[in-house]
Structure 1
């Protein structure tokens, strides 16, 4: 039996329910994850504990989009069979807290085990909706063992075979039956995510932006209980601030903190129009800043770079320019971003943020008419023509802007492979010089005529 799954397209609401697949090691969690999302994303192996980190994908069933989490195996009683068992278990338990629905997987081949019973006790305490998923039902004898799992106190066990696809449709019907038919999200003019590594001042900046606004509209609950989106009015516009302040509580395991911080960053990045990347100016740009910057660039989001804690930096002539030069050296993909120095502690220059956010938001939505674009292109080609590359000489017939937010320029050419990356970079730079596109990546794509 084949099952079709679709993914939300650009512009669709990303207010999603979260479904976590949990269980002890080697019960088939990753196999089920791959079966549902329709691709081999999680590593599947007979060796227990192969899935170290949590993996998340957005999928859909019967018109209900949701985020599906795959986790490593939970090891109760504090027992350890590998170096990372404590971290993996902590991540899985955090996934339970974050989930709206928990898929608790057990193995019909072996029946209920002590570890299953321990996990079941913890799940009952959470009060979360739990769908008991009995995997590896491949023979009549396996179906006969289903009744044994009623002893876990989690209701009816749903027999499936993640490997062969048996029972998956009925299982997903059970998962989504309590979901609303359609997620309704209040409209806003711009969504802003404040991103950055831990302790760079994200919470402080968020509090400043909210606290200085007299027209606070509402607190909009996010899709998880540890995320709150704040709507505020700015010059008649509704700006939605996506809270990525970090974990609400301390984790016992540093690896779990790092992984969950990254997941929250990714979720906020998916939802936002403009990202405010905060960098600790007193510490300088580090590799984690570069990783977050790369995610912003790859996603094509608008971006502003804020060097916070400027009050802690020793000042000399052009210190601010040196800060930006060092950033560009470490993060060359974001040289198009507007930037400034600030101090959340003293509130120095924090008033500039909303103005820059709106400037970048407007730039992302800018559309250049085809006639204007081709007049520009004629001049750019006249100034610097394509050179022979890939076995031929490239020729551009015309250009059009196919999309906005982010801007995407499509060039109709004789042969895409005749164009060197350096020439496309030249055209990209000329487009930015001519039309601005402040703080947003410009995608230049080639289409064979």
Structure 2
């Protein structure tokens, strides 16, 4: 990436729409109501031959106190300081407002290069606002339509010399798996402390936090190095019970958060120590298991707990009782606000990620299978003996196994659980889902009937 471009402006002028167009996909939530974006969101932008980093910011507010709007403005000002170039967006149809003039002065004092663009300038309705923007005294104004893609070529022409100025002399970078950051999603109910945790990991106030529940609205991804491990962390919107999700924007936020789980490799389920294992927490854990993600349970606000020894004993018992499908999942107590327990959390994440990637040789699996069957033979329904003949691992991420069996449809679910628990204990597969499938046949190349266990032990045909 050659330079960083921050898109700034009043609420609802189209910053997120332009951001999505520059990155080429719908990363930021977009809605008609103002103030949807609250955090800083970074993306890899492409504009013709140009490659650069773009930052979507919260709408600039005139508040400067510790209110939510004041904290949003402080974050936007921080984005201005991080950027090489600021793209100041105004609404051509609404025309120039007093707030636009205030923020133009802020940008002028910043000393950064500023490009003014009048969005929603398509048609005659935006002509007057576009011309008024020249009165800001910040140079030429680009007429844009972020929604329809108009004016992108003009923007590219203005940014081209900027790209040359910040050009990287390195040859084209080649990213391999060893350089790829570990993908981590922070999941939890509103006000569990997800954004505070991400800020603690980053060591800076990057995401908006506060006592108000539901501050985060869309999934924000940030890349950093955490105790020597390169990670990409998705901070998601707090997910409430479905019956309580009413507003269109909140539905979009929840959908965005659930999509982040599918991108993740490890899910950190963040619980509030004052109300752990709420029904919604259990649903989120089940979601992570069904998606096949490695899981770590982190209990936040541990600094507020008085009887820590009794509480941790209770939490472990409840975890084993309520989430048997995630048997052995690590439980870590932390205080995101005070930055305590983060080293243990990172170690647990690295361990479950390694487990999630585990591969076991076929010879080891079959020696284990023979031992299991000899020690505890499968039942013989209706007097028919069930033979387990062969077993192999078909993939990792999560560990997935296939066993060939004479009568797969007759093998009880309890015996499958026995095999899965044996796999978990023998090969150290704690903290990760296990996929186990039975097929009918003498060897890996014959048979059609199968039974698949996907956490909930459902039967099916392939």
Compute the TM-score of the two structures, normalised by the length of structure 2: 0.53
1:165 to 141, 145, 149: 149
Paired position in structure 2 for 1:285: 276
The 2-side partners of 1:430 and 1:371 are apart by 16
Decide whether aligned partners of structure 1 residues 54 and 302 sit closer, same or farther in structure 2, where only a CA change above 3 A counts.
same
Paired position in structure 1 for 2:89: 105
The 1-side partners of 2:167 and 2:211 are apart by 34
1:49 to 13, 34, 52: 34
Paired position in structure 2 for 1:270: 233
> Would the aligned equivalents of 2:13 and 2:91 in 1 still touch at CA under 8 Å?
yes
Paired position in structure 2 for 1:114: 98
Q: If you compute each CA radius of gyration, which structure gives the higher value, 1 or 2? A: 2
SS in 2 for 1:259: coil
Matches within 5 A, 1:14-163: 20-36=6-22, 37-39=24-26, 42-45=29-32, 48-49=33-34, 51=36, 53-54=38-39, 56=41, 58-61=43-46, 62=49, 64=51, 66=53, 68-69=55-56, 71=58, 73-76=59-62, 87-88=68-69, 90-91=71-72, 93-98=74-79, 100=83, 101-139=85-123, 146=130, 148-163=132-147
Matches within 5 A, 1:347-366: 359-366=351-358
Paired position in structure 1 for 2:256: none
The 2-side partners of 1:352 and 1:42 are apart by 33
Decide whether aligned partners of structure 1 residues 368 and 126 sit closer, same or farther in structure 2, where only a CA change above 3 A counts.
farther
The 1-side partners of 2:110 and 2:233 are apart by 28
Matches within 5 A, 1:219-230: none
Structure 1: give runs of 5+ residues left out of the alignment.
1-14, 79-85, 204-225, 228-241, 386-396
Cα deviation digits, residues 403-437 of structure 1 (max 9, x gap): x5x43538699xxxx9xxx89x9586565345322
Decide whether aligned partners of structure 1 residues 133 and 340 sit closer, same or farther in structure 2, where only a CA change above 3 A counts.
closer
Matches within 5 A, 1:40-439: 42-45=29-32, 48-49=33-34, 51=36, 53-54=38-39, 56=41, 58-61=43-46, 62=49, 64=51, 66=53, 68-69=55-56, 71=58, 73-76=59-62, 87-88=68-69, 90-91=71-72, 93-98=74-79, 100=83, 101-139=85-123, 146=130, 148-171=132-155, 174=159, 177=163, 178=166, 180=168, 243-244=201-202, 247=205, 254-255=211-212, 258-259=215-216, 263=220, 270=233, 283=274, 285=276, 300-301=293-294, 303=296, 305=298, 308=302, 312-313=306-307, 320-327=312-319, 335-339=327-331, 359-369=351-361, 383=378, 400-402=393-395, 404=396, 406-409=397-400, 426=417, 431-439=423-431
CA RMSD of aligned residues (A): 6.0
The 2-side partners of 1:92 and 1:198 are apart by 23
The 2-side partners of 1:294 and 1:153 are apart by 56
Structure 2: give runs of 5+ residues left out of the alignment.
225-230, 235-263, 381-389, 438-451, 453-459
Report the alpha carbon displacement of residue 106 of structure 1 after superposing the two structures with TM. Answer: 0.9
Alignment: residue pair count: 361
> Would the aligned equivalents of 2:9 and 2:88 in 1 still touch at CA under 8 Å?
yes
The 2-side partners of 1:18 and 1:260 are apart by 24
Report the alpha carbon displacement of residue 157 of structure 1 after superposing the two structures with TM. Answer: 2.4
Compute the TM-score of the two structures, normalised by the length of structure 1: 0.54
SS in 1 for 2:115: strand
The 2-side partners of 1:138 and 1:96 are apart by 29
Decide whether aligned partners of structure 1 residues 448 and 139 sit closer, same or farther in structure 2, where only a CA change above 3 A counts.
farther
Decide whether aligned partners of structure 1 residues 295 and 89 sit closer, same or farther in structure 2, where only a CA change above 3 A counts.
farther
SS in 1 for 2:216: helix
> Would the aligned equivalents of 2:184 and 2:267 in 1 still touch at CA under 8 Å?
yes
Paired position in structure 2 for 1:221: none
> Would the aligned equivalents of 1:30 and 1:42 in 2 still touch at CA under 8 Å?
yes
Report the alpha carbon displacement of residue 331 of structure 1 after superposing the two structures with TM. Answer: 6.8
The 1-side partners of 2:185 and 2:268 are apart by 5
The 2-side partners of 1:322 and 1:115 are apart by 54
> Would the aligned equivalents of 1:108 and 1:135 in 2 still touch at CA under 8 Å?
yes
